Chains A and B, each alone.
Chain A
Amino acid sequence: DAKTTQPTSMDCAEGRAANLPCNHSTISGNEYVYWYRQIHSQGPQYIIHGLKNNETNEMASLIITEDRKSSTLILPHATLRDTAVYYCIVLAGGYQKVTFGTGTKLQVIP
């Protein structure tokens, strides 16, 4: 699986958009980009995933660059409850195990 690089931490003002970047320059054609988040003392929670098109759901939007070497998770209106560690993971389309990198610790500030 391709490796990912994320900033260690970020701050975002409450009500503003939180843009979390992820670099995955070695991603291959059949690999998807997945995002999870983990709120303190809870299990990780799936957010969204995509292959090459931008994706949106009720939680977030995922923007993948045309060359697929990087992506951005967007929380359009961050709330205090969005304070968490966000993990970007690259997974092949076939069966595989899910391993987590270090992630980005997002702090939403009132």
Chain B
Amino acid sequence: DAMVIQNPRYQVTQFGKPVTLSCSQTLNHNVMYWYQQKSSQAPKLLFHYYDKDFNNEADTPDNFQSRRPNTSFCFLDIRSPGLGDAAMYLCATSRDFIGTSGRVNTGELFFGEGSRLTVL
């Protein structure tokens, strides 16, 4: 059974028309990530949530926003998609636990199948 579900799998939008991609998880993981992956490139981290705390990467454009209304759901909003935003968008989750020296993240990410965005 899928544990990280992304919708839609394929999204076509017009230049400048806002898009929202969704991610849901059944793992009850407290950390959720959004990655952007362009053709033949490695996934690039856009931002992540550690519980409710939002962590933006320094080079993530303002055009990209995210919401996490609860543990299970996370959304990626692209306010005004440009041609350069066409990519696969990957959602991932991970969990942490309390170790002897504080919080520890397992480093094991669970990815969804991705949402492929086409911008016309």
The answer to whether A and B assemble together is: yes
> Which A residues are CB-close (under 8 A) to B4?
43
Are the CB atoms of B42 and A95 closer together than 8 Å? no
B104 in the interface (beta carbon within 8 A): yes
Are the CB atoms of A95 and B50 closer together than 8 Å? yes
> Which A residues are CB-close (under 8 A) to B35?
100
Of the candidates B45, B101, B104, B108, which one forms a contact with A99 in the assembled complex, judged by CB atoms under 8 Å apart?
Answer: B45
A32, A89, A98 — most chain B CB neighbours (10 Å): A98
Whole-angstrom CA separation of A37 from B83 in the bound complex:
28
A49 in the interface (beta carbon within 8 A): yes
| B22 nearest CB across to chain A (Å) | 15
Residue-wise, chain B 15-49 has the 8 Å CB interface mask toward A (1 for contact) of: 00000000000000000010100000011110010
> Which B residues are CB-close (under 8 A) to A49?
107-108
Q: Please, how many residues of chain A have a CB less than 8 angstroms from a CB on the other chain? A: 26
Whole-angstrom CA separation of A8 from B43 in the bound complex:
16
> Which B residues are CB-close (under 8 A) to A44?
43, 90, 92, 109, 111
Are the CB atoms of B42 and A94 closer together than 8 Å? no
Are the CB atoms of B33 and A97 closer together than 8 Å? yes
Are the CB atoms of A102 and B42 closer together than 8 Å? yes
Residue-wise, chain B 95-106 has the 8 Å CB interface mask toward A (1 for contact) of: 010010111110
| B108 nearest CB across to chain A (Å) | 5
Are the CB atoms of B45 and A98 closer together than 8 Å? yes
Known: A95-B96, A96-B105. A42 touches B113 (CB 8 A): yes
| Residues in B46-77 with C-beta less than 8 Å from chain A | 48, 50, 55
Are the CB atoms of B45 and A46 closer together than 8 Å? no
Sampled A-B contacts (26; CB under 8 Å): A41-B88, A42-B111, A43-B4, A43-B90, A43-B111, A43-B113, A44-B111, A46-B108, A49-B108, A85-B42, A87-B42, A89-B107, A93-B99, A94-B102, A94-B104, A94-B105, A95-B96, A95-B103, A95-B105, A96-B105, A97-B45, A97-B48, A97-B55, A98-B33, A98-B94, A98-B109
